[in-house]
Structure 1
């Protein structure tokens, strides 16, 4: 009897199935240091205990996307080890900050299945939760992924496509306990722009770019314990190792500091799509569009809804062609809520 596992294939999933993912992870300051080495991340709340304490928090939490990657990585061996591609995200919420010393684990529930017309792959929808050592949900989100079939002749399951929300309302957002921006230091944060300085429909070109290299993306993907074959094994994807989509998300978010330095904490993920593959040698650039603004029930705190687009060229605000499809230079289209001083 084999002691190794080839991972789950499309026919191994069933709607309602609950999967508890292996290998809990205790978070340390080492992850923060590596995150800042991998990305040009400079948001003050995630960099300085003193700044965070002035904002009402006990210390600087780890970056919200670090928490996402750690939870996402737990799910990969069970959900997307045999994936062709991760297709999108929706209904993501950060319920509480993650601090160094917290231990995260993950579980997923299968909420949808649909075999593709080629009979060789299918789409699996899951709702995944990250849970800390106290049993508290840290974050949850829905994602859907295209997974290979083990046996192309295996019967197709009944199609179940879940009904998903288009976007979170600002009232759905969970604010960290004690958060208070009334003593917010704009000088230390790096920019003077507060929520009232942004208008719906405004497009911000984040100016800078970063060329992705093989070594850094594989280091990042290993850091999150993401084992998906397409990120490492050229025999699985001879046209090139696919850059982990989360690497693109974190790079674009870090680039967005230039123009959105005060969008401090990500608290909601309305939707996201990896529009085209990213490969080593691509230079990632980013632009954002302001979709909405709202006041929050915390002193001096507001929420800004942003569309973050990562590209490998092209003009800011160009996204789709006349046929409605993403243009070839578009890598990521992410819709999220962040907290910002009023």
Structure 2
């Protein structure tokens, strides 16, 4: 008797497998717990008081401390990898991100994405795919949404190019659309316990802050983080996936490291509320030492008592290179790892 082999494994999607309008329901919902926070704080030097202390969060009007905003982002992002970026060459950028509801220990998160753009690259071997992703909790409430675009390999270089569709994305999230956690009140904010006296009114548009400290990225910590977020992208796991034989550090690992380093100078930028833009400018590899600096881009009032919004550019660099971003050719300098534009909430 001849046994017919049936393929049951999933090689992931390639560029020609995407079409504008496709809705991708991502597998494996994830219930988060206090252990998620403990491990997140073990991986990064995260010290923002709002996410470190239930009592501090209660003094700000919330029932307890929610999960760190970037930890929630990583959980939602990780769900999308098998369907969006398993065969990606690079994650290129972000836009129109908003954190809409706090994520609490015990919540179960799942993700879904809609393909909103495709464009084949001129080499005919890769293409760019744009998706809008939503993270939902067990009550089907959207807790997070964002757009990202990735460069994905083609399965067949001779496959015809699709009609290009490039979405028109906002350059920044309108601060009036930022979601304020219900009950948030910074009028009784304890600056001593938070770690710094600097409030919203102390920052000026155009001001730049060198966060001073650096952290060397270790292979073991990166692999632990990538597994924690269930990010299965081959370039993060398999040394054979890149020509140089090295595993690429997950871009979210760099984001969280830079955000944690920004505590020194921005300890009161407690809550990440919006993601305007972002680019992973150059690859980060094990052994690189990550530093960070920030620039104040804008400020806005909010209707919440004692709460202001501040728009920040967060730049992560390989080595201590404050305030260096682009060369004379307009391209990112080789030491720049991350250029992230986001809104945060802080006491006025």
Normalising by the smaller structure, the TM-score range is over 0.9
Q: Aligned-pair distance for 1:315?
A: 3.2
Across the aligned residues of Structure 1 and Structure 2, the Cα RMSD in angstroms comes to 0.6
Count of matched residue pairs: 342
Distance 1:211 1:297 in 2: 40
- 1:298 equivalent to 2:298? Answer no
The equivalent residue for 1:98 is 103
Distance 2:270 2:261 in 1: 13
The equivalent residue for 2:27 is 22
Match of 1:85 among 83, 87, 90: 90
The equivalent residue for 1:107 is 112
CA contact (8 A) 2:49 2:194 kept: yes
Distance 1:313 1:323 in 2: 21
- TM-score in terms of structure 2 length: 0.98
- 1:134 equivalent to 2:143? Answer no
Q: Aligned-pair distance for 1:169?
A: 1.8
**Structure 1 residue runs of 4+, over 2 Å off?**
none
Q: Aligned-pair distance for 1:238?
A: 3.7
The equivalent residue for 2:331 is 325
- 1:242 equivalent to 2:244? Answer no
The equivalent residue for 2:270 is 264
- 1:215 equivalent to 2:220? Answer yes
- 1:276 equivalent to 2:282? Answer yes
Match of 1:117 among 122, 133, 136: 122
Q: Aligned-pair distance for 1:313?
A: 2.7
The equivalent residue for 2:71 is 66
* Structure 1: gaps of 5 or more residues: none
1:128-156 deviation line (CA, Å, top 9, x unaligned): 00000001000000000000011111111
Distance 1:217 1:270 in 2: 25
Q: Aligned-pair distance for 1:318?
A: 1.3
The equivalent residue for 1:45 is 50
- 1:309 equivalent to 2:315? Answer yes
Distance 2:70 2:261 in 1: 14
Distance 1:25 1:74 in 2: 9
The equivalent residue for 1:193 is 198
SS in 2 for 1:235: helix
Moved more, 168-177 or 33-42: 168-177
Distance 2:172 2:239 in 1: 37
Q: Aligned-pair distance for 1:314?
A: 5.2
SS in 2 for 1:52: helix
Distance 1:51 1:145 in 2: 38
- TM-score in terms of structure 1 length: 0.99
SS in 2 for 1:135: coil
CA contact (8 A) 2:212 2:291 kept: yes
Q: Aligned-pair distance for 1:170?
A: 1.2
Q: Aligned-pair distance for 1:271?
A: 0.2
- 1:335 equivalent to 2:341? Answer yes
Distance 2:213 2:319 in 1: 12
Q: Aligned-pair distance for 1:172?
A: 1.4
Match of 1:287 among 286, 293, 306: 293
